[in-house]
Amino acid sequence: MMKWGLSYLEFQGSGDFLDAIVVGMDMLIKKFEQNNKGKKRLCLITNAATPIEDPFEGTKEDQVNTIATQMEAQGMKMDCVIVRMKQDRETNRKVHLELVIYRRSQYTEEILKLAQLKIKVWVYKKTSEEKFPTLKKYSDKAPPTDKFATHEIKVPNKVVPPEERIKGFQYGPQVVPISPAELEAVKFKPEKSVKLLGFTDASNIMRHYYLKDVNIFIAEPGNKKSILALSALARAMKEMNKVAIIRCVWRQGQGIVVVGVLTPNVSDKDNAPDSFYFIILPCAENVREFQFPSFINLPSSLQPNEKQQHAADKLVQMLDLAPPGKQKVLPPDFTPNPVLERYYRYLDLKSKHPDVAVPPLDETLQKTTEPDIELLSQNKSIIEELRRSFELKDNPKLKKSARRVIKERPSGSDEEREEFDKDADAKAIDSMEYSSKMKVEKIGDVNPVKDFEEMMSRRDDPKWINKAIQDMKNRIFDLVENSCEGDTFHKALQRLVALRKGCILEQEPKQFNDFLCHLCKFCQEKNLRSFCQYLTSHEITLITKAEAPHSDIPEHDARSFMVKPELDSQNMKSEAKTENDIMSIYLGGK
């Protein structure tokens, strides 16, 4: 078939691909009539170099809608292959846009339920990941005519009837058998529906929450009430910067239920309706809870200076793929997946020449997978400036290994070197095993701040962050409670500063703020107000929203927080002085 198609590529004339689709549909209808619905498939191969002609009656849109309706009725599917050949760069881009717009898309018809309101919508796939083709198992021992050769283990003299065969599921070290009836009963089978769960601010949906493909929701064409309702809802959400959370079940009795977000897409064109983009959101099992500190909260010594930032900005501007006023370099609509493209090209080559070697990456795919060599050569000065701005230095914390020490020794026989090498290898292995075993799991008494920082930096399990914070809270509380005339206040302050810094870096401001409030309240109740004054003198405040985005404490409230305990302590002192004066009068004093 490929050879047959290539024989027609030498044709130099122009052609209307809509006419080709009509002819192909007519051939399929005449050959199969009403049989084989869903198996009729058209493949359009074109270079998209010429625009489609205007029809004798109606518009191009009417012609496309008529073809799509007929394909839907006949159960036909269509694939489109664009062959990019050597042609003029000024080729009319309207042809490409027509091909993208007019290609038939599969859709599903749904009803969006909003409490008592129901809106009929159509759901299209906007983007979908093209999967790598599944490679079947190949056996050189099976006969060539047997396409489904399998191998199984048979136990002689023992036959297990089909009704006694059940599936077993791995659960820890054991396999739990579950019968088909039990498996069917435990499945969740909701009704086919699209239900609104509620609204939330668009800022609450993080970019890394987006999963899988993107669908587009539009109102049912021709249904004016649905169009008005959907448009009003989209514009209201856009104005208030809200998104909708919905639950979707695409098929009746389907066990797959997804929860996703609807983002309004308000159109600025008269002939394009308002719509929604739908993206599936993750559940608790899909979210990775590892948190990393923000660069904003790092000390100034670890942040770029003005010169370094300027050099980085120039590099970004140099490698801009969509500069203003110029053509985009890698538009998604015209950039093929290099992995799939290379695989299918080699598959085509392998089908014609079985013994052919894997060819090198061709020039077309190099432009997609590698930076432009010409662009880099023209901007060497920018790259050199960036290299000079970020000078690489040796880390002084790294100690020389035993192997490096022996290599730097000028003298010594070969036997001594070999013995030293073996000894060095053994020590290196021992040190690695020792360091891996000696991971900090609790805050000790020798260097509690260092233990706290090491526990906070562990990324093998999220529990270490909460454990480190809780252990440090207990340490601080014990120091304050067991102090004698403030002898342990400086130690408690040192640990409190480390706790505050760690909570900012790990985005846990609420834990620190709640603990500081509880600690100050405890000090007021136990007549330890001097510790609150000690914190005020060292400017220890609550974590504000400017320091950590997850905090809900404004800067003004954080500064006034430590003033209140100080005023309360002064009032208590004045009350105590008044009581002493009254007692002195009773005792006969002045």
Hey, what's the torsion of the CAs at 553, 555, 561, 564, to 10 degrees? -140
Question: Which whole number is the average pLDDT over 205-226?
Answer: 88
Which CATH fold would you assign to the domain 448-576? 1.25.40
What's the pLDDT score for residue 428? 47
Question: Which whole number is the average pLDDT over 243-268?
Answer: 88
SS3 call for 112: strand
Domain 110-129+188-280, what architecture? Beta Barrel (2.40)
Helical residues (DSSP H) of 445-541, grouped into ranges: 448-456, 463-481, 489-505, 509-525, 529-537
Above 60 in pLDDT, residue 34? yes
* Highest-scoring range by mean pLDDT, 107-121, 390-404, 436-450: 436-450
* Residue ranges covered by each domain of the chain: 2-104, 110-129+188-280, 295-389, 403-434, 448-576
Above 70 in pLDDT, residue 461? yes
SS3 call for 54: coil
Domain 295-389, what architecture? Orthogonal Bundle (1.10)
One-letter amino acid of 140: D
Question: How does pLDDT run across 6-22, given as a tens digit for each residue?
Answer: 555 555 556 677 888 88
Give 36's pLDDT tier (boundaries 50, 70, 90): low
Question: How does pLDDT run across 52-63, given as a tens digit for each residue?
Answer: 777 777 788 888
Identify the residue whose tokens are 């579950």: 178
Give 369's pLDDT tier (boundaries 50, 70, 90): confident
Other CB atoms within 10 A of residue 36 CB: 13
Give 199's pLDDT tier (boundaries 50, 70, 90): very high
Higher pLDDT, 550 or 216: 216
Question: Which whole number is the average pLDDT over 130-141?
Answer: 70
Question: Which whole number is the average pLDDT over 158-181?
Answer: 78
Each as own residue / partner, the long-range contacts of residues 151-158 (CB below 8 Å, 24 or more positions apart, any chain) are none
Average pLDDT, the chain: 76
Question: How does pLDDT run across 486-519, given as a tens digit for each residue?
Answer: 788 888 888 889 998 888 888 888 888 889 888 8
Specify which residues 195 forms β-bridges with.
113, 247
Question: Which whole number is the average pLDDT over 431-438?
Answer: 46
